[in-house]
Structure 1
Amino acid sequence: MKQRLALLLGVFSVMALSNAIVPVLPAFAEAEVWLQSAIYSAYFVGSFLTVLPAGVLSDRIGRMPLVKTGLLCTWVSGILIVLFPGALPVFFARGLEGIGGGLFVASALSWVNSRPDHKRLSGYFIGALNLGLVVGLLGTGWLEQTVGITGGVMLFTAISFVSFLLSLFLRGDGGAPQQMTGDVAHMVKDYLWLYLSAVVLVGVTGVVTALYPEFTGESAAVLSIQIGTMHTATIVTSLIAPAFMNRPVPTIRIAAVVMGAAVLGSFFAPSMSTLAVFLMFATIGGLSGFAINAQLVFLAETRLPQGAAMGLFNTSTYAGLALMPFFAGLVAQLAGFGAAFAVSAAATATMALTIGWCACRLPVPESP
């Protein structure tokens, strides 16, 4: 129980700090769309580079050393952003923060997916993750009015320090390190289209998050509530999704089609009504929760070493969150926001087709 509470608080604080910068991106990036996307994506580039090594290492040396290191990096990065709020220092601090997030999330998810009650635990973990994202947005939007653009970062840096202190009291993993039964290249080959769906279906949530501040020109407070709706919907569906996870691939296919339509709709929503904006964000977030849980449940029920499997999964999600917002920002800069939303929507809907190419099969249970 102590480990579960520590990991849930840890993922909450890591995600809250990672999202604390989103409502005030224009202030850090001097209103340049490409620079906003670069600062936003820097976190996910750092995570992308570390989640796979962290997952493999967690199978070999245990998870808790990586959990503690990740929380320490998160805390230090927050201090750097507060002390040096210029665009270039923030870009590099976000990269360090991403490294910490990658170390923590990969090792923590490896622990979660190795538990007998992994379906319920993964729902709690994804729920706590998205709760952190929501609170990070809302806290920053509120504090920006009184403290300034670094108010949210200061708050969640303090909370991440508390999480780091709590992690120091954790000892052991609750289980022996796993032995590798296959190499990473074979995992990628066998589950390529499943991992690609993680790249796109998670990455597209970053696209709308990164584009909306400049696209709508809304205040930080309003943007916090709008984007927070997406993460709140993910929390809700993450908690109820385990009851619907008997057929993960059809779940992913349905989520891809509806999410694609909602991403395109999010371009038109601001000109329609405030309610339409909230509806699009809630749809994207809610379906994302179903898709992520379907992917996690499937991987947990394979015979793959969970550290490596979760390392690849997190590599995929962070690749999506690093690359898709960045390229969407470039498209918006060159061809306009309409083109950026349209390309992102098409890529999302295409996952309904490509997931059918996956050779993903769960192992046949052994006869008693």
Structure 2
Amino acid sequence: MNSRKFLLYPSVFAIQGLSNAVIPILPELAGNGSASPAVSSLLYSGYFIGALLTLIPFGILADRIGNLKVAGLGITLTFISGIFISYSDNLWVLGISRFVEGVGCGAFFPAAYSMISGWKNSQRSLGEFNFLLNAGLAAGVFLSGMLAEIGIKTAINIFSLLAGFSFALLIWESRSLISFENSGRKKVNSGASRNREISGKKSGDLMSYNPGKYLEKTGETFFEDGFWKLWGISVILYGATGLLTSNYADYSAGFLTKPELGLAISASYVAAMLSSLAAGRTRLKNKNIVRAGIILTAAGILLSLKAPLLAFFLIGAGGGTAVIGLIAAVSRISSSGIAMGLFNTGIYAGLGMIPIFGSLFIGPLGYETVFLGSALVLLMILGLKLE
């Protein structure tokens, strides 16, 4: 196996598993079951806000210093935040740790996607990567719900250990970089054909770094070949799923146990695993893959009021399908760290901001009305013309 795969694949599983292990126990983490929906949503969204604020800067940094170093920073921050979440019950520490965990995510994903785009059979590798991504999400939420009676943070502890394993793999893989820097020789970064790491020149390159140039490049990418449409779809699609997921523990408290909640939500990630592999091998046009994902997600949200297991399965299938079409469309425009970071801000803008914004309407309107409204907004974007 490609040594970078051996690092990225278990790492994405651990990173996503840790991020999702908090979902079934959000009310307990936020205030022993007595917290308001806004507090639970804020704790949930802290992770995504951290990612949102750092995806583009770390995408730029990956282009400057190399994908492996930036992805490694993401792994390191995930491990550190996992330790604090495991051992602290202070709400401020938990909130800051979730934010730092999100920063780690912001470092990891642009570099990882840029790295994968430079491999042979990159589309198949993308499907495998997203399979493990969703496997981690599924395992995190499922184990958290199933093991909550043993200990409220049992699943968090497990994934913190797995993040530690990834950190150990990172140290092993980093030996090549250390050897390279000491020798003063050039080394091609296998994860991205556009990136170089040249010993002895980095200090000068970084000193001549022009932020304005990268801001201009980011703006050009955003408006290039309909990139903004893909970004907007990501915000709405994943914001709608985040709004439902972050509030479903409170909404379903009267009719679902913790294990049942964990099973229902984990079904979405099992579906995303399967749909990611299927979408990665389909010959459909990207726009049709994206539209199929939107329809499945909207149907799942509508069914969430009556059939949680089926609903989350459809939501996961929709998200897993859509992300393959969206990333494939983005990579046709550009596979640079900047482009991948910018695209991922759409996903995390939705996941980070819409649950907070949407939760403000739950008090006056109720859960059902807010959920149904998000499904209708999703169906409205089907009329958006994609190339």
TM-score (norm 1): 0.90
Give the CA deviation at 1:279.
1.2
Give the corresponding residue for 2:115.
111
How far apart, in 2, do the equivalents of 1:7 and 1:333 lie? Answer: 41
What amino acid sits opposite 1:351 in the alignment? Answer: I
- Tell me how far apart the structure 2 counterparts of residues 264 and 328 of structure 1 sit (CA, whole Å): 16
Q: Secondary structure at the match of 1:85?
A: coil
Shift of 1:136: 0.8
- Report SS of the residue matched to 2:6: helix
* Equivalent pair of 1:14/1:74 in contact (CA under 8 Å): yes
Question: How far apart, CA to CA, are the structure 1 residues paired with 2:293 and 2:138?
Answer: 21
Residue matched to 1:291:
322
Q: 1:321 aligns with which of 326, 351, 363?
A: 351
1:188 corresponds in structure 2 to 222
Matched, 1:345 2:383: no
What amino acid sits opposite 1:90 in the alignment? L
Per-residue deviation, 1:109: 1.1
Matches within 5 A, 1:31-110: 31=34, 32-110=36-114
- Aligned with 2:300 (options 262, 280, 283): 262
Q: 1:247 aligns with which of 263, 266, 285?
A: 285
Deviation at 1:153, TM superposition (A): 1.2
Deviation at 1:115, TM superposition (A): 2.2
Larger Rg: 2
Deviations 1:106-157, CA, capped at 9 Å, x for gaps: 21111112323121011111111110011111221232211x2121111111
Which of these residues, 323, 327, 341, is aligned with residue 311 of structure 1? 341
Q: CA deviation at 1:245?
A: 4.6
The residue aligned with 1:10 is: 11
Q: 1:258·1:349 contact (CA, 8 Å) conserved in 2?
A: no
Deviation at 1:197, TM superposition (A): 0.8
Could you say what the CA RMSD is over the residues aligned between the two structures, in angstroms?
A: 1.8
Deviation at 1:254, TM superposition (A): 3.0
Q: How does 1:9-28 map to 2 (within 5 A)?
A: 9-28=10-29
Pair 1:216 & 2:247 matched: no
Unaligned runs of 5+ in 1: 270-275, 361-368
Q: Is the 8 A contact 1:245 1:297 kept in 2?
A: no
Displacement of 1:351: 2.1
Q: Secondary structure at the match of 1:145?
A: coil
| CA distance, structure 1, for counterparts of residue 355 and residue 283 of structure 2 | 29
Distance of 1:255 and 1:94 partners within structure 2:
28
**How far apart are residue 176 of structure 1 and its match?**
4.7
Q: 2:308 aligned with 1:277, yes or no? A: yes
User: TM-score scaled by structure 2?
Assistant: 0.86
Greater mean alpha carbon deviation, residues 164-173 or residues 104-113: 164-173
1:336 aligns with 2:372: no
Q: Which residue of 2 aligns with 1:167?
A: 170
Alignment correspondent of 1:154? 157
How many residues are treated as equivalent by the alignment? 348
Q: Distance in 1 between matches of 2:318 and 2:168?
A: 35
In the alignment, is residue 127 of structure 1 matched against residue 158 of structure 2? no
Counterpart in the other structure of 1:365:
none
Deviation at 1:212, TM superposition (A): 0.9
Deviations 1:176-217 (A, max 9, x none): 544999811011112111111111222222222111100010
Other structure's SS at 2:223 match: helix
**Rounded Cα–Cα distance in structure 2 between residues aligned with 1:220 and 1:102:** 30
Q: CA deviation at 1:280?
A: 1.2
Aligned residue type for 1:254: A
Q: Quick check: 1:58–1:177 contact (8 Å CA) kept in 2?
A: no
User: Which residue of 1 is the match for residue 199 of structure 2?
Assistant: none
Task: Name the stretch that deviates more: 208-217 or 38-47.
Answer: 208-217
Consecutive unaligned residues of structure 2, counting only runs of 5 or more, are 178-188, 197-212
Separation in 2 of the partners of 1:112 and 1:3?
9
For residue 68 of structure 1, report the CA deviation from its aligned partner: 1.2
Q: Give the Å deviation of 1:328.
A: 2.2
Q: Secondary structure at the match of 1:43?
A: helix
Report the equivalent of 1:363: none
1 CA distance for matches of 2:111 and 2:22?
A: 25
Structure-2 separation of matches of 1:224 and 1:214: 13
Structure 2 distance, partners of 1:305, 1:239, is 20
Cα distance in structure 2, aligned partners of 1:74 and 1:306: 23
Q: 1:231 aligns with which of 235, 249, 269?
A: 269
Contact 2:124/2:281 (CA < 8 Å) preserved in 1? no
Equivalence for 1:206: 242
